[in-house]
Amino acid sequence: MHRLRLLGNYAGKLCTERSSAPAIHRASIHAGRHALVYGDDVAAARRNGLPIVALESTIVTHGMPYPDNLNTALRVENAIRKQGVVPATIGIIDGKIHIGLNNEQLKILSKADPTRTTKCSRRDISSIVSRKLNGGTTVSATMLIAHAADIPIMATGGIGGVHRGAELTFDVSADLTELGRTPVAVVCSGVKSILDIGRTLEYLETQGVPVIKIGETLEFPAFYCSETVDKVKAPCRVSNAKEAAALLEAQRALGINTGVLFAVSIPEEHALQPVIVESAISEALRKANSMNVTGKRVTPFLLSELNEITSGQSLEANIALVENNARIAAEIASNLISNETSRRAFCTGSAPARSILSKRKPVVVGGAVLDTVLQVKEPRINNDGRTHAGRSRHSCGGVGRNVADALIKLGMENTRLISVVGHDEYGKIILEGLGAGGKTVKRMSDVNTARFTVIVDVNGECYFNVSEMESFAAIAPELIKERQSHLEEASIIVLDGNTPLDTMRCVLDIASQANVPVWYEPTDVRLAAKIFEAGARWKNVLHFVSPNLNELKAIGEYLDISVGGTESLATARGISERLVEHEHVPVVIATLGSQGVVVRVAEFSSREAAPRTLLIYRPFSLAFHFSQVTRKASQSEPFYDESGRLVAGSSIASRLYPVADHAKSSEILSVSGCGDCLAAGIICGIHRNLDESGCVSLALKTAALSLSSLDAVPQTLAELSSDNQL
C-alpha cells in the first residue's frame, strides 16, 4: 500500500504519457532488427513481461583467458537466474546479434582467438554484422542493443572511462558517451582501476549521467578495491536494489533519456588493497608504453599484466565482482517489474488471476512407471549368483501418475495425465488404471514403459534398485504442444521433477500465457531445483513446491538460502521463511517424516496479490499426535478466494490438527505414494473450496490410507470423495 501511495503522485501521468517520451536510438535501429536473434529464455521473458538483465560479452572474448571466461560467464548468468530473472548475454556470431547466448554460443566466443574477434563498440556493430563476423560487445554496444530490445538494465565488471594521459591521447571510452544518450542502467564496480577515475566522473557529469553508489557509504569503488586511493566520493547514494529501482522509475517518469551508472563495491572478502593495485597498474602501464600498446588493445593488455603481477588475485577479484554486480542488477530488475505491475494495476485495474475453482480439471505432467517389488524369503541375500526363493508384486507408480490417479480416485474425474508409456503390456496396465485420465498419455512403439524394480530382504529392507526411465526423455516439448489445449484449460498444472528441462520451460510458458497456477513436485534431491533452472518462467505461475527436507535444502542451496542449526523443523522453517522474505515461492510444502503441519504466510499489502508459504510436513510415520498450523489468515478461510487469489490475513495464529486415532494405530505397509496422495488431497480440497482446516484434514486422511496399503494410491481413496467424508 505504501509503495502505491508513493507512486501515486506521478503514476497516472506515467501511464498516459510514457509513449510520448523520446525513444532515442530505438527508431534508428528499427530497420536492422532483422539481425536481432533472441534466445529462447529471453523471447519467453519478453512475451510474459518477466525481468531481464543484459550482459556484455567482451569479458568472454577479451576479458579473461579460457576457460575462466566461459566459467565466469556461466556463473554470472546463474547468479541472475537465482534471483528469478532471465540473463541475456549479448554477442555477435556470424553477423547475427544474439540477445541471450546459449551455452554452445558462449563456448564459441570463449574459445575464439581474441586477435580475430572484434571488441565491438557502437561504431563497429554495422561493420561486424555486414561482414558476418564474430564480436564481443562492450558496454556501449550492449547498452545500444539492450535498449533496442527494451531491456532497461545491464551488468558488467567495470565500465571504460577516461584513460590516464588522455590530455595527450584523447583516449576516452565510448561507454561514457553511450551513458549520456542511451537510457539503460549499468550496474558495475565503478571504473576499471587502470583508468583515471576522477576524470571519468567529471566526464559523466558533463554528459548528465546520474552516478549512484549502492551501499552504506559514498565511497566510489575502484574495481578491484572497495575505494580509490584518494577516496573519491560518488555524487549520490541509495541503500539497496529497491531504492535503485525507484530512482530508475523516477528517471523514466521524467523522460530523462540518459543512462544511469550504479556503482557497487566488490565484496569485502575479495577486495584488494588500493596501494597494491595502484603499484601494479603503474608497472603494467610502463610495460604497455614500452611496447607501444594503444587503442582497443590497451585494456585487455593491462588486465592480463595485472593478473600476472598480482599472481592471479586480480582475476579472482574480477570474477567475484562481476558475479556480485549481476546479482544486484537482477534484484533491481525484479523490483522494476514489480513496480511496473503495481503501477499498471493502479492506473487501469488489473484483471484478477483466473480462479482455480472455475474448472475442476487438474492436469499432471510427469512420469508413469510400473513398479516391481521382489522380496527374498530367505533370511540372507547372498551375492554369489545363487537362486533365491521369493515373491514379486507389481503396481503402478511414478510421481506424476500417482498424483493423477489419487485425484481421480478422490472424485476429480476430469484430471488428465500428460506422459509417455510404451506400446507394451506394462503401458497397457498403467493406462487401464487411469481410465479417462490416461487419454492424454501417449503410447509410443519406439520406447519402453518406465520400470522401477526394488529388491528387498525378508524384513522388507531395500537391498538395491534398478531403474529403467529412458521413456521420460520422450515427454518432450512436442508432446506438450500436442496437448496444449488441455494445459490452457487446466485449473492447475502439476509438474514432477522427472520432466525434461526443455519440457518444463514449454509448460511454464503455456501456463504463464493462460494464467494457470503450477504445482511442482521435485521428486528427487538431484532434481529439487530443476524448475528454477528453467529461467524466470516460474516467477509468475509457480504457486506450490512440495519437497522433502533434503530437497528443500537443495532448493535453498541453489537459491543461496542457508540457515543455521541441524534440527529438521527449524531448518525447514528457516529456509521457508527466507523463501517468503525474497518472494521466491508462494507455497512450500515440505515433508519431515513424523512432524505435523505448519502454514506460514508472508505479510502483503491488501492491494496486492497475497502469496503465502504453506509448510506441510507429511506423516511418513504416524508416531506423532498433532499437526500445527500458523498463518496470517483464519483456518476457516480457503487457500484461494473466488477470484483466484491466494488468501492472506492480518494476524498470525497457531493451530493444531490432531491425527485421527485409527490412523495412529494403522500398520504401515508402504510409504511410496504417501506424499503424492497428500498433495492430491490438498489439490482436491482447494477445488472443493474447503477451508484450510478441511484441506489439511483431507490431505492427512489420504496420506494415512496410502501408508496402510501396498498400492501407492489405494482404492480406498474413493471413500473420501463423498461430501460427508471431507
User: Mean pLDDT: which of 176-185, 375-384, 521-530, 601-610 is highest?
Assistant: 176-185
Mean pLDDT of 249-277: 90
192 is catalytic: yes
Mean pLDDT of 634-646: 65
- Between 363 and 117, residue with greater pLDDT: 363
Give the least confident one: 129-138, 300-309, 373-382, 540-549.
Answer: 300-309
Which of 575, 626, 629 is CA-nearest to residue 600?
A: 629
Catalytic residue among 82, 192, 539, 701: 192
56 is catalytic: yes
- Separation between Cα atoms, residue 7 and residue 607, nearest integer Å: 14
- Between 632 and 677, residue with greater pLDDT: 677
44 in helix, strand or coil?
Answer: helix
pLDDT of 57 over the 90 cut? yes
Report the predicted TM-score, pTM, of the whole model to 2 decimal places: 0.56
What digits encode the pLDDT tens for the residues 687-719?
A: 888 877 778 788 888 888 887 888 889 988 887
Mean pLDDT of 471-496: 93
Contact partners, residue 582, CB within 8 Å, separation at least 6: 559, 561
Which pLDDT value is given to residue 585? Answer: 73
pLDDT of 615 over the 80 cut? no
Which pLDDT value is given to residue 355? Answer: 52
Mean pLDDT of 381-402: 87
- Phi, psi (5° rounding) for residue 609? -60, 155
- Separation between Cα atoms, residue 112 and residue 601, nearest integer Å: 50
Share of the chain above pLDDT 90, in %: 39
Structure confidence at residue 642 as a pLDDT band (50, 70, 90): low
What digits encode the pLDDT tens for the residues 205-253?
A: 999 999 999 999 999 998 888 888 788 999 999 999 999 999 999 998 8
Q: Indicate the CATH number of 157-342 among 3.40.50.2300, 3.40.1790.10, 3.90.550.10, 3.40.50.720.
A: 3.40.1790.10
Share of the chain above pLDDT 70, in %: 77
- Separation between Cα atoms, residue 17 and residue 253, nearest integer Å: 9
- Between 99 and 357, residue with greater pLDDT: 99
- Separation between Cα atoms, residue 313 and residue 243, nearest integer Å: 32
- Separation between Cα atoms, residue 370 and residue 374, nearest integer Å: 13
536 burial via Cβ count (<10 Å: 0-12, 13-18, 19+): buried
pLDDT of 310 over the 70 cut? yes
Contact partners, residue 377, CB within 8 Å, separation at least 6: 388, 389, 390, 391, 458
DSSP-assigned letters across all residues of 402-462: HHHHHHHHTT-TT-EEE-EEESSHHHHHHHHHHGGGGTTPEEETTSPPEEEEEEE-TTS-E
Mean pLDDT of 278-284: 79
Mean pLDDT of 637-664: 52
Which pLDDT value is given to residue 405? Answer: 95
Catalytic residue among 56, 77, 331, 551: 56
Helical axes 313-348 vs 241-253, angle rounded to 10°:
60
pLDDT of 21 over the 60 cut? no
Which pLDDT value is given to residue 564? Answer: 62
Which pLDDT value is given to residue 77? Answer: 94
Cβ–Cβ < 8 Å for 449, 424:
yes
Distances (CA, A) of 130 to 42, 125, 229, 239, 323: 24, 9, 44, 44, 33
Structure confidence at residue 72 as a pLDDT band (50, 70, 90): very high
- For domain 31-151, the CATH superfamily is Indigoidine synthase domain (3.40.1790.10)
Which pLDDT value is given to residue 367? Answer: 94
pLDDT of 548 over the 50 cut? yes
> Is the bond into 67 cis (omega within 30 degrees of 0)?
yes
Which pLDDT value is given to residue 311? Answer: 79
Which pLDDT value is given to residue 128? Answer: 93
Q: In degrees, to the nearest 5, what angle opens at C-alpha 421 toward C-alphas 419 and 425?
A: 150
Give the least confident one: 87-101, 368-382, 645-659.
Answer: 645-659
Enumerate the CATH 3.40.1790.10 domain ranges in the chain, comma separated: 31-151, 157-342
pLDDT mean across residues, the chain: 79
Contact partners, residue 243, CB within 8 Å, separation at least 6: none
**Per CATH, which fold does 361-380+389-620+634-720 belong to?**
UDP-N-acetylmuramoyl-L-alanine:D-glutamate ligase (3.40.1190)
Which of 404, 436, 392 is CA-nearest to residue 710?
A: 392
Distances (CA, A) of 164 to 160, 170, 199, 205, 233: 12, 10, 9, 18, 19
Mean pLDDT of 479-500: 93
Cβ–Cβ < 8 Å for 593, 567:
no
Which pLDDT value is given to residue 449? Answer: 95
Helical axes 68-81 vs 313-348, angle rounded to 10°:
30
Enumerate the CATH 3.40.1190.20 domain ranges in the chain, comma separated: 361-380+389-620+634-720
